[in-house]
Structure formats: structure tokens, C-alpha cells
Chains A and B, each alone.
Chain A
Amino acid sequence: DGGITQSPKYLFRKEGQNVTLSCEQNLNHDAMYWYRQDPGQGLRLIYYSQIVNDFQKGDIAEGYSVSREKKESFPLTVTSAQKNPTAFYLCASSSTEFNEQFFGPGTRLTVL
């Protein structure tokens, strides 16, 4: 089955530690996205990538970094510079032709 996988589903980290969230897709989509979701605030775009080895900052990129070395993979690193990292993180992808985005199941990150 084609789809998007995110791992892990739950992640706990101590304050000051960097953490990397995984996102993989087998839909052959060119574009991939990372969103942060907080209660009552909808989805906010962190980073997006339209092609391998290229990515752009979204609305809230500070304290985050990404890489896109393979078409299928778009990992997100939450760095110690992110002041309030506890949130639900969603990865999505879309094809060249349409703007419709498909979402993964999400990773809930809790920083203790």
C-alpha cells in the first residue's frame, strides 16, 4: 500500500537535546512538507521541499532543520534552539500535478 509513514509515534526528550523525526513516503511524490500542530492553532508550515536536495523555510522554521537527500525521505530535526518544541508534528507529500497533500499519522513530541 502506498502512503506516508512517520516514526516514532511518541517521542520523549530532555530539554536541550536535538531530536530527529522520520518521514518516508512511497507515493513517488516530488514535494514533501512538515507541519506543527498545537491545540487551537491549526497547522503551521515548518519546512517544505519540492525536489531532492532543495528545501524552503515555512512560517515557523526557527529552531528546526531538514534534509532531502532522497525523494522518499524528509527527516525533521528539532534543535535545542526551538524554545517550545512540545507539539504534534505532521509530515505530508504531494505530486507535481495537483496541490492535494497526503498526510502521515504524526509524531507527538514531548520535551521534559
Chain B
Amino acid sequence: AQSVTQPDIHITVSEGASLELRCNYSYGATPYLFWYVQSPGQGLQLLLKYFSGDTLVRGIKGFEAEFKRSQSSFNLRKPSVHWSDAAEYFCAVGPRSARQLTFGSGTQLTVLP
């Protein structure tokens, strides 16, 4: 069975600092990988996705993530955090042959001024 672990429940960073959110997955084959962001009381917005090819993917809002097969990880990074990045972030994994996604439990990001 596939699973996703986001080890950090809550992360606090200062505005302008760099950010890395961790995601580890368990899946038997090469998966589809996603990062979503959710503002309070809102739906989820896709930040970026990995299907194949270059293991470093760039998404919206200046975010990027790197797929590391050997570590079963897909960590999200941003060089300089803005106050508007404060939100909850979800990593998700899905098989290529079907459409179900498994989501991690999320990481809440707080940005200090």
C-alpha cells in the first residue's frame, strides 16, 4: 500500500529565510508526486508535480521540489519565504495506472515578520 509521511507538523520561519518541507513516500513503483497548498478554510491548490524526467521540478510561487528515488523523498523548497506563504502544505503520491492519491497529514507553515 502507498503511504506518505510528512514528519514536521508545524514549521516556523522568518520572512526572507529559506524553507524546506519534508515528504517521504512508500510506493512499489515510480509514483506520481504532488505538493499542494491550502489556505485556511479554502480548497487545495497545486504547487507542483513530478511525473517523470528531470528530478528537480519547479512550480508556482517560486517553489521547487526534488525527487530522490534512493531516499523515497520529495522535499519542497523555497529560497526566500514571503508572509503570504503561511499556509498548510500537503504532499501526495499516486500510482500511474489509477487516479487515487494518498495525502500526507500536512505541515503547517508560520512565517514571522
Measuring CB to CB, which residues of chain A are less than 8 angstroms from any residue of chain B?
A: 4, 6, 31, 40-43, 45, 48, 50, 58, 88, 90, 92, 94, 98-106, 108
Contact = CB atoms under 8 A, between A and B. Distances in A.
Contact of A48 (B9, B99, B103): B99
Contact of B9 (A40, A50, A103): A40
Nearest to B46: A100
Contacts of A41: 105
Contacts of B41: 88, 106, 108
Interface in B30-64: 32, 34, 36, 41-46, 49, 51
A41 B48 CA distance: 22
A37 B51 CA distance: 26
Nearest to B32: A99
Contacts of A31: 99
A40 B107 CA distance: 9
A43 B90 contact: yes
Please report whether the interface of chain A is mostly helix, strand, loop or mixed according to DSSP: strand
A99 B99 contact: yes
A103 B99 contact: no
Contact of B105 (A42, A48, A102): A42
B105 A90 contact: no
A6 B45 CA distance: 15
B45 A40 contact: no
Given A90-B43, A99-B96, A106-B42, A42 B103 contact: yes
B95 to A, nearest CB: 8
A75 to B, nearest CB: 17
Given A40-B105, A48-B99, A94-B99, A103 B94 contact: no
A50 B98 CA distance: 10
Contact of A105 (B43, B94, B99): B43
Contacts of A50: 99
A102 B92 CA distance: 13
12 contacts: A6-B43, A31-B99, A40-B106, A90-B43, A94-B99, A99-B32, A99-B99, A100-B34, A101-B99, A102-B46, A105-B42, A106-B41
